[in-house]
Amino acid sequence: MGEPHGVGIVGLGVISKQYLATLAGHPRVRVAAVTDLDRDRAHEVAAGLPGARVAADLDDLLAGDDVATVLDLTTPGVHAQVALACAAAGKDRFGEKPLAVDLAASRTVMDAAAAAGTRVGCAPDTVLGTGVQTARAAVEAGLLGTPTAAVATWVSAGHERWHPNPGFYYAPGGGPLLDMGPYYLTSLVHLLGPVAWVQGAASRSRDARTIGSGPRAGEQVPVEVATHVTGVLGHVGGALSTVTVSFDAVASHARPIEVHGTEGSLVVPDPNRFAGDVELNRLGGDGWEVLEPSAGFADAGRGIGLLEMAGAAGTGDAGGAPRAGGDVGLHVMEVMSGLLTSAGTGERLAMTTAPAVPPLVPLTAPEVWRG
Topology of domain 126-298+327-350 in CATH is Dihydrodipicolinate Reductase; domain 2 (3.30.360)
Please state the rounded mean pLDDT for residues 5-23. 97
Q: How many CB atoms lie within 10 A of CB 214?
A: 12
**94-130: b (≥16 Cβ within 10 Å) or e:** bbbbbbbbbbebbbbbbebbeebebbbbbbbbbbbbb
Helix 326-345 to helix 175-192 angle, to the nearest 10 degrees? 120
- What is the per-residue pLDDT for 318? 65
| pLDDT one-digit tens code per residue, 58-74 | 999 999 999 999 999 99
Residue 48 has pLDDT above 70, yes or no: yes
Cα 222 off chain centre by: 25
Q: Cβ distance 75 to 54 under 8 Å?
A: no
- What is the per-residue pLDDT for 317? 66
The β-bridge relationship of strands 92-95 and 120-122 is parallel
The CATH superfamily assigned to 5-122 is NAD(P)-binding Rossmann-like Domain (3.40.50.720)
Q: How many CB atoms lie within 10 A of CB 25?
A: 14
Please state the rounded mean pLDDT for residues 233-253. 98
- What is the per-residue pLDDT for 44? 98
Q: Where in the chain is the domain with CATH 3.40.50.720?
A: 5-122
| pLDDT one-digit tens code per residue, 250-290 | 999 999 999 999 999 999 999 999 999 999 999 999 999 99
pTM of the model: 0.96
Q: Where in the chain is the domain with CATH 3.30.360.10?
A: 126-298+327-350
CA gap 356, 325 in Å, rounded: 11
Please state the rounded mean pLDDT for residues 108-128. 98
| pLDDT one-digit tens code per residue, 143-201 | 999 999 999 999 999 999 999 999 999 998 899 999 999 999 999 999 999 999 999 99
CA gap 361, 371 in Å, rounded: 17
Least Cα distance to 35 among 70, 5, 85, 78 occurs for 70
Question: How far is the CA of 138 from the CAs of 54, 210, 227, in angstroms?
Answer: 45, 43, 33
CA gap 244, 177 in Å, rounded: 9
Backbone angles phi, psi at 186, to 5 degrees: -65, -40
Least Cα distance to 59 among 48, 70, 49, 51 occurs for 70
Q: Cβ distance 228 to 136 under 8 Å?
A: no
